[in-house]
Structure 1
């Protein structure tokens, strides 16, 4: 092996300095971000995403998911309501089984739920027409676009702020938790009136019994007959439901980190521009799928709040008496009159809607961020 001159050794030492840093700051551990780019000097720079980009991308992603999955949202809302409980009576059996038959029984019930969900969609189409499958889409879009915009904007912004102020510019699970909680509370407060109108429209029967002509008529009727404060019915359940959003963001961030670390092991310090199109698409699908899986787990763990929220937003009876007047009271009434199983009414169409919705929404969000950045 030829001997190196003192000058060559000096140059080698200078070149090796960037790699003497800790693993956390080493080039192989840079965040795998679609916004990383080679600056032409052999170094990879990470560009900060501007808050307005999160706002726009979140709105577009939410709109795409809402349009595609609207029929499932309609079925979910009706199954959650006691108004349609007798109309859409489930054939799922709840008889006691031995341990050996539990898996078979669960599989059978899941198949029945899927069949019934599509059966309800078919009945709505035949009896109320194709447009009825998209009842509540107007307020849904009016709500989804600002809701997702506010959620992604607040989460991204507060995550940066919390990281900078409390954790020396470093992300951590507890930072994600704080940001997700802030985003959930801000979104619920800002958009509750829109979701109340959407729920009322989806529970409104077609034909001669129809109460509301459109979203504006529903808004006027609620304010005139029940007062402005009625627009915030179900807000307490929405705050409780922010736990679902917190869990989803936490799980999504952890799974995204795992995907990133696997990418680092495979590609080292390559930036996005040096990867093949196939690898980019594969990682994008993995991240989008992670959003769907995170939503699936979070929804199952926190679903009862959805049923309670729908009951709180129902139209009062003809005599104006409220059957469901508060969060705890609603939980008690449902458990007493209908049993614990009713706390999961509409779960199947909910999962059939929210899981692909999350995949579409987060996937679109990431693509729009790439385009706008």
Structure 2
């Protein structure tokens, strides 16, 4: 695979900074959709009465959709609740994208040097993306944990988090340091999300580049939008069930109670109980608001990322 590469080779930390800024802009606008997604993902839990016996059994409850969830939040919690957890979301998404693109470009440069090529093939892009995702998971999992719990918590809860640092402090106090890494197993499975997304993204960009005889850094906004949208939709659809499993494990309602009983006991238990009580569709709770959110989120992030990169390239000339 050969195509004209970027005119100026930027350091990986510049790539990371560009992605961080792009993610911050996108997340600030689209936070309500992320909130709805998490609420719907977590709505498969038993009602409080279902846990009162201390048996840990799941009580089947009526599932609500996007519109009813919106009405319930507006009626009982107010419009501000849609931005609950926005600060950890912005921080987590910014750090996740920043560290991800830093490691992604680092691994790409290593393979390009090793193979003595200017452009990697789809498989090597996939390997670099999976490696970058795995690297950033261990950095960002605690922040995403707090973000998820802040979006699912209810006022008056004994473990109510008022912010990122308060959430980290209470989590460590109640669950220990390892509590910050709940959901890390499905998060590691989700590293294939980055592999599918970025390898598809690079491949689609390469197609546009070769079909129009342009360099990769000369692609226009519509081409970047199409490449980012298609690649994100593909990755999200295939691996969305792992997001639901991760959310169930990270929810504050899965913290052991006084009888040391949890709703779920590990990844396998989550999968089994979702299948038993909700069926296959349970793995796609919140898929609609997630899709509405991730397509523009990723598109805005990558568009801003590419534009900021161009600014840095002018500076480095």
Tell me whether the two structures share a fold, i.e. TM-score over 0.5. Answer: yes
Q: Distance in 2 between matches of 1:197 and 1:176?
A: 31
Q: Are 1:311 and 2:248 an aligned pair?
A: yes
Q: CA deviation at 1:345?
A: 0.7
> Counterpart in 2 of 1:287?
224
Q: Distance in 2 between matches of 1:207 and 1:225?
A: 17
Q: Over residues 8-52 of structure 1, what are the superposed CA-to-partner deviations in whole Å (9 max), with x where a residue is unaligned?
A: xxxxxxxxxxxxxxx95xxxx524x4xxxxxxxxxxxx2112222
> Counterpart in 1 of 2:56?
none
Q: Are 1:58 and 2:7 an aligned pair?
A: no
> Counterpart in 2 of 1:10?
none
Q: Does 153-162 or 232-241 show the bigger shift?
A: 153-162
Q: Distance in 2 between matches of 1:179 and 1:208?
A: 42
SS at match of 2:63: coil
Q: Are 1:357 and 2:297 an aligned pair?
A: yes
Which residue of 158, 166, 180 corresponds with 1:231?
A: 180
TM-score (norm 1): 0.74
Q: Are 1:339 and 2:279 an aligned pair?
A: yes
Q: Over residues 94-146 of structure 1, what are the superposed CA-to-partner deviations in whole Å (9 max), with x where a residue is unaligned?
A: xxxxxxxxxxxxxxxxxxxxxx4255334423431222111111111121111
TM-score (norm 2): 0.86
> Counterpart in 2 of 1:104?
none
**Alignment CA distance shift 1:263-1:240 (3 Å):** same
**Alignment CA distance shift 1:143-1:84 (3 Å):** farther
Q: Over residues 334-357 of structure 1, what are the superposed CA-to-partner deviations in whole Å (9 max), with x where a residue is unaligned?
A: 112221110111111111111111
SS at match of 1:205: coil
Unaligned runs of 5+ in 2: 48-59
Q: Distance in 2 between matches of 1:327 and 1:357?
A: 28
> Counterpart in 1 of 2:4?
30
Q: Distance in 2 between matches of 1:124 and 1:209?
A: 20
Unaligned runs of 5+ in 1: 1-22, 34-45, 91-115, 273-279
Q: Distance in 2 between matches of 1:202 and 1:357?
A: 18
Q: Over residues 47-91 of structure 1, what are the superposed CA-to-partner deviations in whole Å (9 max), with x where a residue is unaligned?
A: 11222210110100111111111101111111111348888724x
> Counterpart in 1 of 2:306?
366
**Alignment CA distance shift 1:262-1:170 (3 Å):** closer
Q: Are 1:205 and 2:154 an aligned pair?
A: yes
5 Å-filtered alignment, 1:109-188, equals: 116-166=65-115, 168-188=117-137
Q: Distance in 2 between matches of 1:239 and 1:250?
A: 18
**Alignment CA distance shift 1:212-1:47 (3 Å):** closer
